[in-house]
Structure 1
Amino acid sequence: MEDMKVSIIAEIKQIHADISNEINEATDQLKRELGDFRGEMNTKLNAIETDIKDVTTRVEAAEDRINEMEAFNTDARDLLSHSLELQEQLQTRLEDLEARSRRNNIRIHGIEEEAEGDDITGFVERLIKTELALPDTPLGIQRCHRSLAAKPPHGANPRSIVLCFLEFQIKERVLQSAWKRKDIQYKGKRIFFEQDYTSDILAKRKAYAPIRRALKEKNLRCQTLHPARLRVHLQTGTVIYRDLQEAANDLKGRGVINTETFNQVTKYKDPSGPRMVKSAWQNAGTSRRQRERIKDIQEKLKEFRRNVDATS
């Protein structure tokens, strides 16, 4: 009996020792695996950190380039807006100069080609003095010629005849006499006298055609005033419109023109060309800071041009 107890105790001690050894081996293996895992994770984290730093550097560089592009875009837009404003001012002045150079001119429409023969000035003088009843008026025509367009084919509308008078008063007298007579004919065909307008003004005046037709259908009188205004005699009184859009909007609101006529008018494009539309957040005026920035941009462009010229 005593021997069995000793034997059992010995077996228990052996089992305890075996279990302790297995636990120690498992613990050592787990420590080794955890160490390997930690090293692998550190390596991967270092690689990720390097990638993040690289991405951060690239993002910062991209942000810098975007900021530069935004600043350049703002400067370029301001300069373009300023250039378009200058262009519009120059175009207005040029239009005014051209109109002033034509202030002594008259155009005659409807005279057949070659009807003037070899002496167009003498032909026009005889026509004016006879048809406008100005026999004793010294006309003083400086220049007289057909419009510079190509000669039209037979049967097409003839080119107009352009007259330049020495004196503005004589030109106005001839024009007023022609307008008073209204129906002036040459060889059975009606001819017209009118002011010699620039191409832009003429296009603006012609754009009123749909409105004039609508007014005529309603027996309402209208006149196209210089340079491109419209005077309408309504039942409530006379109204003068400064431009086509103002006339269309007001007459549409009064019910004088219908939607079809209004749509025809709104399709008209200003011959002066497109204008740059400002963003909603942009101030329409030019501030002092903006003017200084534009001046700085212009100086940079001049410097760039000098550098290009020096290297070429």
Structure 2
Amino acid sequence: MSQKQSKRDTKAGKNDDGKSTQKQLTLDASVANVVSPEAKTDTGGVAALLSELRKFRQESGDAQRDIIESQTRLETSMTEIKQQISQLEEMTTVEGRVSNTEDKGIRQERALAYLLKRDTKLAARQDDLENRLRRNNIRVYGIPEDAEGKAMIPFITGFFKTALKLQEDLIISLERAHRATTPKPKSSAPPRSIIVRFLDLSVKQVVLQQAWKQRDIEYQGKKVYFDQDYSPEVVRKRKQVREVIKKLRERNIKAQALYPAQLKIFLETGVKTFGSLGEAQSTLTDLGVTVDLDDRDKLERELLRDSWSTQGNQRKRGFSLSPGEIRDIMKSVEQH
């Protein structure tokens, strides 16, 4: 290598070192510009900046963790809210079912009340028709069993003519005569009654009135009684009325039993007639007579209380169902 060439290389290296030094000074100046003016004159400025950056980084991390925890709590709350909404929906469904069941129960109770009242009216009407069919009948009590032999009609016709003081020209025509349709009693038990049906109602009335007028009628030394032929229900009610009449007579109060089971009381203030013992209960209590009415009679009295009321009054009192309500009830019954 020549001497000139060495001189050139030495001069170029010096120039490169100068450029590197200049670049470093420029970078230091840039860093110095970032540092606060106070840090330019303070040798610990950079350390303080780094400390602030570390503190900011720590605070940012804490804030991020708080945000994550808040999100977790929010998700938990949302899950609980969803569960509560699901429970509320289930409760709403249950409440709807309970409401529907209550409504159905109310309709069924109304239908039952309607059917009970209708059944009671039909039973009363049927009992009335039965008693009307028995108008030509009388019952004879006290005649011993088998006294009639094999021919009941000739026997009972002859008994009427011999035991009762009837007109000789009275023609007694019977449709039928037979013992009560119950099992034959033992010899020690009272005999069954004899049911006699007349063809002519007026003849039946004459025979019965004469028997009640004579009172003391016997057959083979046995006391014989005559009475109307009533249905079992009327017989039961009239028996209760007779017991009340017996108590009233013990208190020297005159009373009578009217058809079907009415009570007629003769008081000093006047005559009072009651359609049933239930209607007479308050008056009888004032007279010192107790009446024991069973639940059956009370219910029947309540159901038949407005039997003859108008349809408008029934609507006002709510005792009847409309055809639409009855159809709805029938549909609900068919569905279940």
TM-score range, shorter chain: 0.7 to 0.9
Matched, 1:39 2:67: no
The structure having more radius of gyration, on CA atoms, is 2
Displacement after TM superposition at 1:306 (Å): 9.2
Q: Which one of 286, 290, 293 corresponds to residue 266 of structure 1?
A: 293
In structure 2, what is the Cα distance between the partners aligned to 1:271 and 1:118? 46
Moved more, 31-40 or 121-130: 31-40
Displacement after TM superposition at 1:135 (Å): 5.6
Q: Which one of 63, 83, 101 corresponds to residue 95 of structure 2?
A: 63
Flag structure 2 segments of 5+ consecutive residues without an equivalent.
1-41, 305-311
In structure 1, what is the Cα distance between the partners aligned to 2:153 and 2:142? 17
Q: Tell me what 1:171 maps to.
A: 204
Matched, 1:73 2:81: no
Deviations 1:43-64 (A, max 9, x none): 2111112112212222222233
Q: Which one of 252, 257, 280 corresponds to residue 247 of structure 1?
A: 280
Letter paired with 2:125:
R
Displacement after TM superposition at 1:288 (Å): 11
Q: Which one of 199, 211, 230 corresponds to residue 232 of structure 2?
A: 199
In structure 1, what is the Cα distance between the partners aligned to 2:188 and 2:285? 39
After TM superposition, list the pairs within 5 Å mapping 1:108-123 onto structure 2. 108-123=140-155
Q: CA, structure 1 residues 66+273, in 2 after alignment: closer, same or farther (shift >3 Å)?
A: same
Moved more, 21-30 or 145-154: 21-30
Matched, 1:134 2:162: no
Flag structure 1 segments of 5+ consecutive residues without an equivalent.
1-8, 278-282
CA contact (8 A) 2:143 2:224 kept: yes
In structure 1, what is the Cα distance between the partners aligned to 2:70 and 2:182? 91
In structure 1, what is the Cα distance between the partners aligned to 2:220 and 2:295? 36
Letter paired with 1:295:
P
Q: CA, structure 1 residues 151+164, in 2 after alignment: closer, same or farther (shift >3 Å)?
A: same
CA-based RMSD of the aligned residues comes to: 3.6
Matched, 1:107 2:135: no
Letter paired with 2:232:
S
After TM superposition, list the pairs within 5 Å mapping 1:184-223 onto structure 2. 184-223=217-256
Q: Tell me what 1:95 maps to.
A: 127
Q: Tell me what 2:314 maps to.
A: 285
Q: CA, structure 1 residues 78+302, in 2 after alignment: closer, same or farther (shift >3 Å)?
A: closer
In structure 1, what is the Cα distance between the partners aligned to 2:276 and 2:301? 17
Q: Tell me what 1:294 maps to.
A: 322
In structure 2, what is the Cα distance between the partners aligned to 1:145 and 1:92? 27
CA contact (8 A) 1:145 1:162 kept: yes
Deviations 1:123-180 (A, max 9, x none): 2111111121126221111110011111112211211110100011111111111111
Displacement after TM superposition at 1:206 (Å): 0.9
Q: CA, structure 1 residues 304+58, in 2 after alignment: closer, same or farther (shift >3 Å)?
A: closer
Equivalenced residue count is: 287
Displacement after TM superposition at 1:75 (Å): 2.6
Deviations 1:191-243 (A, max 9, x none): 11111111111111111243123112223332211111112233443322210
TM-score, normalization by structure 1: 0.78
Q: CA, structure 1 residues 21+236, in 2 after alignment: closer, same or farther (shift >3 Å)?
A: same
Letter paired with 2:324:
D
Q: Which one of 156, 168, 186 corresponds to residue 153 of structure 1?
A: 186
Q: CA, structure 1 residues 288+109, in 2 after alignment: closer, same or farther (shift >3 Å)?
A: closer
In structure 2, what is the Cα distance between the partners aligned to 1:172 and 1:93? 24
In structure 1, what is the Cα distance between the partners aligned to 2:62 and 2:173? 119
TM-score, normalization by structure 2: 0.73
Other structure's SS at 1:285 match: helix
In structure 2, what is the Cα distance between the partners aligned to 1:174 and 1:132? 8
In structure 1, what is the Cα distance between the partners aligned to 2:207 and 2:65? 113
CA contact (8 A) 1:75 1:294 kept: no
In structure 2, what is the Cα distance between the partners aligned to 1:243 and 1:37? 84
Other structure's SS at 1:193 match: strand
Q: Which one of 196, 218, 229 corresponds to residue 262 of structure 2?
A: 229
